Amino acid sequence: MASSGNMLPEKQFQCTICQQVFTDPVTTPCGHNFCQTCIQDVWDRSEVCQCPTCDKSFTTRPEISINTAFKELADTLRKMVVSSSASPLCAAKPGEITCDVCAATSLQVKALKSCLVCLTSYCEAHLEPHRRVATLKIHKLIEPVKNLQERMCKKHERLLEMFCRDEQKCVCQFCTETVHKGHQAVTIEDESGERKVQMKKTEADFQEMIQERMKKVEEIKNCLKLSNTSAEKEMKESDRLLTSLIRSIEERQTEVHTEIKEKQKAAERRAEEFVDELRQEITELQRRNIELEKLRDTEDHLHVLQRSPSLMSTPPTKEWMEIGVHPELCVGTVRGALSKLDNTLKYELDGLKKEEMKKMQKYAVDVVLDPYTAHPNIVLSADGKQAGRGELLHIVPDNPQRFDPVICVVGKSGFLSGRFYFQVAVGTKTFWDLGVVKESINRKGMITSKPENGYWTVRMRSGEEYRALDSPSVLLSLKEKPQIVGVFTDYEEGSVSFFDVEARSHIYTFTGCLFSERIFPFFSPGVSDEGKNTTPLVIQAVNH
């Protein structure tokens, strides 16, 4: 650039090493000027200190300091050069990479390329020597990136250009010849290429996960619509039944409606929470997909290796596939309200309970007993449907899930939401326990069955005593000895109900149950009772 006014030509202010306007100019004893960093780098790489311009050698390394007056002139010229060569579009916007050379003079000019050899980002004006000077043309240029110093091996101060597959980290060439000698090492370009192939598959997997979650959102919405319809049907049914009862039942009608509406609102809130969670997962997966697409197109191989593991890892997700919104939300509502009525209404109540039990049986599940939890004295049938008391201990692995010394067993499948029903033939047994338990219950040593310990069970003792093991336990007065016991659990409502299936009568209901984990069907065939209790507990199929 020719000078204007009395300004000297720009060439007089150029460092002969970097071919740029001086940055922090210093003068050697022979009178030549260089950028402070440039001359120091030259001398650091050479065993002899000499002037790059006149080749004059110095016995000892000269002490040099910045020429303040010359620096001011150089800085002024640099600003003029940048101002004249850079259009307004070159000004760096917030978040964009800036030219390191311009930044030394407090100018924020957008960088065009970053040099992996110089470890410097250049604007269009300062990049010019890399396109003109033969020794600079061989430098590796990439799209502008931040933190170029992080691309250097901190131990050997060399460029990170290799990838150790044994230790899954980027290393320099010297590392592969020393600390990582014998390890499988490839160039970061090769590793980046393979990662990009993996990214493509991960993107497809994430897309599939997005579709699954979108499908689940629609499923929840559809179930919620069915739930609204079921709630309306349930209210109409309650009206029909309640109008046939005496005036005291009619007074409960408002309470029934209120409880049904509250349950419906709770279901809507729960559905909205599920939808929000799923949408958040969708957003996160979409964000990752966008980043993976950008990462596959970049030339910055080190960035690919550093970012790909976190982007390709499967995001934490909840067990949403097991969550459902069930249409018949109001099972048990009528029973809950009618149970508060006077004993004079027992005949009418029994009729309602029969109808209610039919609804509960719609939620019948296939329960199979888990041999890995069975006490060594328990004999299980081959199909996992019967649990009897054996005379001899079986030799079985002592695992944490197995009950010992209490003679118990649980089902293979647990439940994290919704409703489920199963029924068990107890026949003429004189000792038995049935119900549901938390997955985390203590299975070793003596067990105290009560809700605080994660047990919601009913038991029979000595062939005649029935007791609900609530807190405190409740002695049950049953007119008939049940031959088949039905167990119905409502996870969201927090209730566990027991029924005499053949008499179609209610036995007992645990309410206010705090379910926060998987719950499993629970069985205990009891002691031998001098040979009177040898028949097994038998899980029966439900005939609707």
- Do residue 345 and residue 473 come from a single domain? no
pLDDT of residue 430: 95
* pLDDT tens digits along 423-480: 999 999 999 999 999 999 999 988 899 999 999 999 999 999 999 999 999 999 998 9
pLDDT of residue 244: 65
pLDDT at 1 over 50: no
Q: DSSP letters along 345-405, please?
A: GHHHHHHHHHHHHHHHGGGB----B-TTTS-TTEEE-TTS-EEEE-SS-------TTS-EE
Per-residue pLDDT, averaged over 325-351, amounts to 53
DSSP, collapsed to helix, strand or coil, labels residue 528 as coil
Tell me if 202 is assigned to some domain.
no
Bridge partners of 409, per DSSP, are: 523
pLDDT of residue 88: 42
What confidence tier does 351 reach under pLDDT thresholds 50, 70, 90? low
- Do residue 338 and residue 251 come from a single domain? yes
Per the structure block, which two tokens stand in for 293?
A: 């697409």
- Do residue 118 and residue 74 come from a single domain? no
Distances (CA, A) of 423 to 272, 481, 533: 34, 15, 19
- Do residue 415 and residue 480 come from a single domain? yes
Q: What is the CATH number of the domain that holds 487?
A: 2.60.120.920
Sign of CA dihedral 470, 472, 473, 477: negative
| More confident call, 198 vs 346 | 198
* pLDDT tens digits along 7-57: 445 567 788 888 778 888 899 999 899 988 888 888 888 888 999 989 899
- 8 A C-beta contact, residue 227 and residue 327: yes
Q: Which domain holds residue 120?
A: 100-146
Per the structure block, which two tokens stand in for 476?
A: 């049950």
Per-residue pLDDT, averaged over 205-223, amounts to 88
Per-residue pLDDT, averaged over 130-136, amounts to 86
- Do residue 343 and residue 402 come from a single domain? no
What confidence tier does 487 reach under pLDDT thresholds 50, 70, 90? very high
Which of 387, 385, 365 has its CA nearest to residue 537?
Answer: 387
pLDDT of residue 505: 87
* pLDDT tens digits along 266-280: 878 888 888 888 888
- Do residue 342 and residue 481 come from a single domain? no
Give percent of the chain above pLDDT 70.
85
* pLDDT tens digits along 102-116: 877 667 888 889 888
pLDDT at 230 over 80: no
